[in-house]
Structure formats: C-alpha cells, structure tokens
Amino acid sequence: MEVILYSAEWCPWCQMTKKFLIENKIKFKEVNVDKSPEAVVELIEKTGQMGIPVTVVDGKPIIGYDVQKLKEALKLK
C-alpha cells in the first residue's frame, strides 16, 4: 500500500493526520507543501485539490482529516 501525505508544519489538521498514521503504524511518505513550490504543483496535479491535508492511498486522495475515510482506505478497524 502506497501512502503519501501532503501537509505543512503550520497546519493543525495535517499534524493530526500525521499522528493518526503514525499511531496506526502506517508507512507513509510526507510531502511538505510549504517547503517547495513544486510540491504545491504536484499536489494540485495529482489530487486536484487546493487544500491540505490530503492523504493519497494507492492513488486515491482523501481530503482533510477524515478519520472514517482514512480508516476505510487503510483498511483499519
């Protein structure tokens, strides 16, 4: 399962999403949109979103810190 989290340090919901992934022992790649303009372009192109956090699970974007959708996509109980 490939999991990418588009986030930023100053975004509380991003920090919650990151914490959720760590607590559930999910391996993920974090892309910090604040640190590179390229990451913003990548976020928009790959997910069609202009908002963070976005968690991409096997190509499917989950918008915001949505625990139910994250649990479903990550097949967590």
Partner 1 sequence: MEEFDLIIIGAGPAGLTAGIFASRRLLKTIIIGEVIGGQVMSTTLIENYPGFKQIKSVDLVEKFEEHVKSLGVDIIQDMVVEINEVDDGFIVKTTSNEYKAKALILAFGKSPRTLNVPGEKEYTGKGVSYCANCDAPLFRGLPVAVVGGGNSAFDAAHYLSQIASKVYLIHRSETFRAFDSLVEDVKKRGVEFLLNTEVREIKGDKFVRSIVVENKITGEKKELEIRGVFIEIGSEVKADLIKHLVKTDETNHVCINEKTETFYPNSDKIRPGIFAAGDLSNVPFKQIVVAAGEGCKAALQAYNYIHKIETKGIVGDWSAGKK
Q: Which helix (H) or strand (E) holds 47?
A: helix 37-47
N-terminal to C-terminal alpha carbon distance within the chain: 16
48 binds partner 1 (CB under 8 A): yes
Choose, by CB under 8 A, the member of 1, 36, 51, 60 that binds partner 1. Answer: 51
Closest to 75 measured CA to CA, from 41, 25, 5: 25
- Shortest approach of partner 1 to residue 71 CB, angstroms? 8
Binding site for partner 1 (CB under 8 A): 8, 10-16, 19, 33-34, 37, 40, 43-44, 48-53, 63-65, 67-68
